[in-house]
Amino acid sequence: MAHELTWQIVRVLLYVVGLIAFAAFNAAYLSLLERKIPAWFQLRYGPKEVGPWGLLQPVADGVKLLTKQLLVQAESDVLLFKLAPVMVVVPAIMCLALIPFSEVLWARNINVGLLALFSFSAIHVLGTMLGGWSSYNKYASIAAARVVAQNIAYEIPLLLVMVTFVMVTHSMNLFDIVQQQAGGFWHWYLLRVQASPLMPVAFVIFFICMLAEANRAPFDMFEAESELVAGAFTEYSGMGFGLFFIAEYANVLVSCSLATVLFLGGWQCPFGLLPGLHWFLIKMYALCFVVIWVRWSFPRTQFYGLLNLSWKFLIPVAFLHLVLTAVMLKLF
C-alpha cells in the first residue's frame, strides 16, 4: 500500500514538472515559430542572429524578460495585479494535465475530463480581466471589458458544440473518446457524418471558438496593438508580461491538443497502423501552424463584428447542429 502511494505521489510530481516544462518549452518555441512562419509568408527571414536559425531567440527573450524590473504602480491594486498573471497561466497547465497524449502518457484520467477541462479554462478570463482592471490604466480597463464580453460570447457556441459531442460519444472521458476513434481516419469524429451530418462544421465552430477563447487573432481585440497599445497588459513589465505570454501559448496548446483528441483521433494513426505519441504531436503542431497562419493572414475584426459573429451566426448554427444530432440519434 505504502509502495503504491509513494509511486502515485512520485508519478504526480513527475507529471507536474513535466507538464510545466512542456508548456514552458512549447510557449518559448511557439513564439519563435510565430516569428519564423510569418517571415516565410512575408518574404523575409525572421530571427536568425541568435543561435542557428534563431533557435536561441526564445532563450534570449526569456533572459530579457527575467532581468527587467517588475514595476507595480502605486495606485494599482497590488495583490490583484500580481495575482492576475498567475491566474492566467495555472489553469492552462491544469488543463494540460487532463489531456491524454498517448495510451500510456497521461497525467489524470477523469471520467468527466471534458467538463473539468472547460471549467478550468474559464478561469483565465477572470485573470485577464483582473489584470486589466487592477492596472489603473484606461486602456487596460477598456481591454478588460472587451475580453469579458468576447469570452462570454464565444463560450456559448463552444459549449453547445461540446454538449452535442457528448451526446454522440456517450462519454466525457477523454481517453475513451480517443479509443472510440481507433481504426483509420474515417473513424475520426471530424468525419463521423453518420452521427451528425454537421460534424465538420462542428469542428470549424470549435476551432473558431477556441481561437476566440485564446484571444488569438483575428479575435485579439483586447491586445489590439494599434488601438490600445498592449491592451490589458499595458502596465505589466518583465516576467509579469512573460507569464501572460506563456499563458497565451499554453492556451493555444491546450486548444490544439483538445481539438486533436476530440476530432482528429488523438494518438491514433490515420491508417490504423502505428498509433502513438508521434501522431498526437504531428496533429497538434499542424493545428498550431493553422492557428499562426490565420493570425497573420487576416485583419482584425471590429468588436461588434466579433460579437455579431458569435451571437448571430455561430450560436444558431450550433443549435441547429444540436437539434440535428438529437434527431439522428433518435432515428438511428
Partner 1 sequence: MSTTAQSLHEEMFVLNLGPQHPATHGVLRIKLMMDGEYIADAESVIGYGHRMQEKMGENRTYAKFLPNTGRMDYVAAMFNTHGYVCAVEKLAGLRVPERAEYIRVITAELNRVASHLLWLGAFLIDLGGFTPLLYTFDDREQILDLLEGLTGTRLTYCYYRFGGVCNDVDDAFLAGSRQFVARMRARMPMYHALITKNIIFRKRCEEIGPITAEQCRKYGATGPVIRGSGVAYDVRKAEPYGAYPQLDFNVPVYPQGDCLARYMVRLDEIVESLRLVEQALDRLPGGPVMAEKVPRLLKPPKGDCYFNVESARGSFGVRLFSDGTDKAYRLKLRSPCFSNLSLFRECSRGMLLADALALLGSLDLIIPDIDR
300 near partner 1, rule: CB under 8 A? yes
Q: Round the CA-based radius of gyration of the chain to a whole number and report it.
A: 20
The yes or no reply on residue 203 touching partner 1 (CB under 8 A) is no
297: contact with partner 1 by CB under 8 A: yes
Q: Do the beta carbons of residue 310 and residue 151 sit within 8 Å?
A: no
Size of the residue set binding partner 1 (CB under 8 A): 32
Site string for partner 1, 68-87 (x = CB under 8 A): -------xxx----------
Residue 119 or residue 297: which is nearer to partner 1 going by CB? 297
- Give the nearest distance from C-beta 84 to partner 1 in angstroms: 14
Sequence letter at residue 70: L
Residue 47 φ/ψ region, left for φ over 0, alpha for ψ in the -120 to 50 degree band, beta for the rest: beta
Distance of CA 311 to the CA centre of its chain: 21
Write down the least CB distance from residue 87 to partner 1, Å: 19
Q: Which stretch binds partner 1 (CB under 8 A): 101-109, 221-229, 254-262, 323-331?
A: 221-229
Helix orientation angle between 113-121 and 78-97, rounded to the nearest 10 degrees: 160
Who's near 66: CB < 8 A, 6+ residues apart?
A: 238, 239, 242
Contact call for residue 35 and partner 1 (CB under 8 A) = no
Closest of 292, 121, 120 to residue 218, by C-alpha:
292
Min CB(237)–partner 1 separation in Å? 17
Say if residues 143 and 223 touch (Cβ distance below 8 Å): yes
Q: Which of 217, 232, 243, 291 binds partner 1 (CB under 8 A)?
A: 217
Interface residue list for partner 1 (CB under 8 A): 38, 41-44, 75-77, 133, 136, 138-139, 141-142, 217-218, 220, 224-227, 229, 296-305
